[in-house]
Structure 1
Amino acid sequence: MQRELTQIELLQELSGVAEQNVNRHLSMTRDWNPHDYVPWDEGRNFSALGGADWDPAQSQLSDVARAAMITNLLTEDNLPSYHREIADNFSMDHAWGHWVGRWTAEENRHGIAMRDYLLVTRAVDPVKLEEFRMTHMGNGATSEGHTGAELGDRSILHLVSYVTFQELATRVSHRNTGKACNDPTADKLLQRIAADENLHMIFYRNICGAALDLAPDQALRAIADIVTGFQMPGLGMPDFRRNGVLMAKHGIYDLRQHRDEVVMPVLRKWKIFEREDFGAVGEQARDELAVFLADLEVQAAKFEEMRDRSLAREAARRERTGLAV
């Protein structure tokens, strides 16, 4: 039977892997400046400085793109909560601390650039955006959308499992949002952000992969907990469910993408269903994963069927309206 490692033991045993992956990240990442991705010549003052306040007619984004941009930005805004949780779990010592600082600084660019783009182009209501930011940051966030009290038995393994999937999910969402904006500037910006998210995902994925080799049962138990109960960190932000439905309906982020582009690639990378080093705890967790993934496939297929019918009805309604005119 595999002995369960303590949080301190896990940090100590994985510190070498963390150092290797910090160095790997620094060798691959490319620094960039948020101001280079903002069309400043489109900007003008709001009423406090003698200009005009926002009007919906000023936005060039579709309802879907606007909902996705707001959701993605508010997710980035809660960086202080994410920093606190990662720092508490990783510690600020040695390579762990270096990563926490570097990751936080890189993530902060995302919110800066996205907010500047949205305000300069008048793509969203700035007053409502600020109200949403205050509410969301006031509520805070933890991995999986839980409160701190609900995370009492969670460990570094749960955290690195969660952020592996979450970073990849965010990459998919940003990339598809860029396409939905129908604006080359927004697309270029969100491609840049998505590239960062992918490198962040690789760091966490490699740490979790090393944990699987170190403590297979313990790591897989954490992975199964995360996959079967996964929630995006935006859970609880204003209009999250409404915007989430819009995003799913129009291909920004849906169950199919979650299963096929996020969960399955990571599980395959870790060779979860090929490994032979699991004990009883790990085998049970793997069985739970298999059942969950089969059900997720069924749910994704049902959602796609309902979505296709809904979109077809909307297209027919638009056509009838156009003919009537």
Structure 2
Amino acid sequence: MHELVLRDYRPTYICRRCRSKAAANRETVATVGHRLEKKIVVGEEEWRTYLAPERLEVVRQLEPWVEEHVLPLLKPVEASWQPSDLLPDPAALGADGFHAACLDLRAAAMGVPDELLVCLVANMVTEEALPTYPSGLNRLEVVRDATGADDTAWARWIRGWSAEENRHGDVLNRYMHLSGRFDMREVERTVQRLIRDGMSVHAPTSPFHGFVYVAFQERATAIAHGNTARLVGARGAGDAALARICGTVAADEKRHEAAYTRLMGKLFEADPDASVRAMAYMMRRRIDMPTVFINDGRHSVGDFYARFIAIAQQAGTYTVSDYRCILEHLIRQWGVEELATGLSGEGRQARDYLCALPRKIKRMEEKVIDKSAKAQNKPTAIPINWIFDRTIGVVLP
């Protein structure tokens, strides 16, 4: 910034003191930049140690356990729900019955508030970006499905999990089409942009870090769908069909969460030092939703994501409190507070950081609530093209 200002003036008007100050600023910026670059390099070196053969061998030896304890969490196709079970089916109802059922669905959808509709779109877009997620798992060492039809337990899990997830976007998308509450062309453009832009995951090829992320994210997704089901249900907006859909999707996500949580728990047993350090690494960099690159075509990517997060916080579909509760849950599940034996100095620091983090997030929650209370009469009106440019009044961070 200082250099930009200086370029606006002629050199003859810059005094010696200003030149010295500018030089000092440039030196400071260079020093900070060097430190930042060094920090990034150190972080890169840290997670890459997880690709060492001895670390990957820990993961490789878990395959029989995955076969016995993780794969059974998938349901057979014949026992799985399908979108046609949850929405009007013209083949089963006939033309007149289908028309009547659609009118009933549209009438119930009219009672859902706009802010919940926006959150529903974001949830649906997250699910529809499915092609990105198995490709992410297939980047992880050891667990990847190298040929696309591997018979390893890891590969069968990835494909089975993807197949179950595929129904989530389908059923939400069909509901939105039938409800008439959404500008589906704009929604579909958002889906295309998100798949095109992908997602950014820290430590992209380390299974330790990858499983921390997915365990956290599957629980977050289950909570978001579950909260939406509650808010649109009989005690909320009164849309029973949407509540049933969101509740059904949330139940799937809970099974998937159980799989990844069990898997990461087994890694904590096998290598507690590596596991707790991987968890701390991911939490220091924050666990963002897979929709972090979501874009409505009008705003910059990060700006629109921040606006959606504020809307979700206000609507109650996914909040700072939910984020903290997920972290607390995983700390308990993986016994982080009790870890002692086998920890290095870095492992102990990671454990202490994780155990202190929920209190820091709690203070953040209090600030968010306080700011919202103070700014109740000063919300920002945000037009959302997904709902035909109707505006949502929200307090931005």
Match of 1:202 among 258, 261, 264: 258
Q: How many residues align?
A: 292
CA contact (8 A) 1:256 1:297 kept: yes
SS in 2 for 1:252: coil
The equivalent residue for 1:248 is: 313
Question: 2:214, 2:82 → 1: CA distance?
Answer: 24
SS in 2 for 1:88: coil
Match of 1:192 among 248, 255, 258: 248
Match of 2:154 among 96, 106, 114: 96
Identity rate of aligned residues, in percent?
25
The equivalent residue for 1:85 is: 136
Question: 2:100, 2:245 → 1: CA distance?
Answer: 17
Match of 2:68 among 20, 25, 46: 20
Match of 1:34 among 54, 58, 83: 83
Letter in 2 for 1:208: M
Change (3 A) 1:43 1:102: farther
The TM-score normalised by the length of structure 2 is 0.68
Question: 1:304, 1:136 → 2: CA distance?
Answer: 30
Highest Rg: 1 or 2?
2
Letter in 1 for 2:333: K
Q: How does 1:173-322 map to 2 (within 5 A)?
A: 173-181=224-232, 182=237, 183-228=239-284, 229-238=286-295, 239-260=304-325, 262-277=326-341, 278-311=343-376
CA contact (8 A) 1:70 1:129 kept: yes
Letter in 1 for 2:165: E
CA contact (8 A) 2:168 2:249 kept: yes
Change (3 A) 1:302 1:28: farther
Question: 1:119, 1:222 → 2: CA distance?
Answer: 41
The TM-score normalised by the length of structure 1 is 0.82
**Are 2:217 and 1:160 equivalent residues in the alignment?**
no
CA contact (8 A) 1:37 1:117 kept: no
Question: 2:289, 2:365 → 1: CA distance?
Answer: 17
1:228-266 per-position Cα deviation (integer Å, ceiling 9, x unaligned): 321111101014322221110121111111102x11111
Question: 1:43, 1:246 → 2: CA distance?
Answer: 33
Please state how far the C-alpha of 1:291 moved relative to its aligned partner: 3.6
Question: 1:80, 1:164 → 2: CA distance?
Answer: 18
Question: 2:180, 2:101 → 1: CA distance?
Answer: 9
The equivalent residue for 2:166 is: 108
Question: 2:99, 2:251 → 1: CA distance?
Answer: 26
SS in 2 for 1:66: helix
Tell me which moved more, 32-41 or 221-230.
32-41
Letter in 2 for 1:113: V
1:241-294 per-position Cα deviation (integer Å, ceiling 9, x unaligned): 22221110121111111102x111111011100122222221011122234322
Question: 1:191, 1:197 → 2: CA distance?
Answer: 10
1:177-215 per-position Cα deviation (integer Å, ceiling 9, x unaligned): 123332110000111000000010110001101101111
Change (3 A) 1:16 1:258: same
1:24-69 per-position Cα deviation (integer Å, ceiling 9, x unaligned): 3147995101111124536999xxxxxxxxxxxx954311111111
Please state how far the C-alpha of 1:312 moved relative to its aligned partner: 7.9
Question: 2:183, 2:101 → 1: CA distance?
Answer: 14
CA contact (8 A) 1:59 1:124 kept: no
CA contact (8 A) 1:220 1:286 kept: yes
Question: 2:183, 2:157 → 1: CA distance?
Answer: 35
Structure 1 unmatched ranges of 5 or more: 46-57, 315-325
CA contact (8 A) 2:198 2:293 kept: no
RMSD (Å) for aligned C-alpha atoms = 2.6
Please state how far the C-alpha of 1:91 moved relative to its aligned partner: 1.8
Question: 1:109, 1:28 → 2: CA distance?
Answer: 14
The equivalent residue for 1:10 is: 58
Please state how far the C-alpha of 1:307 moved relative to its aligned partner: 2.9
Question: 1:267, 1:220 → 2: CA distance?
Answer: 10
Letter in 2 for 1:295: K
1:147-170 per-position Cα deviation (integer Å, ceiling 9, x unaligned): xxx646x51000100000000000
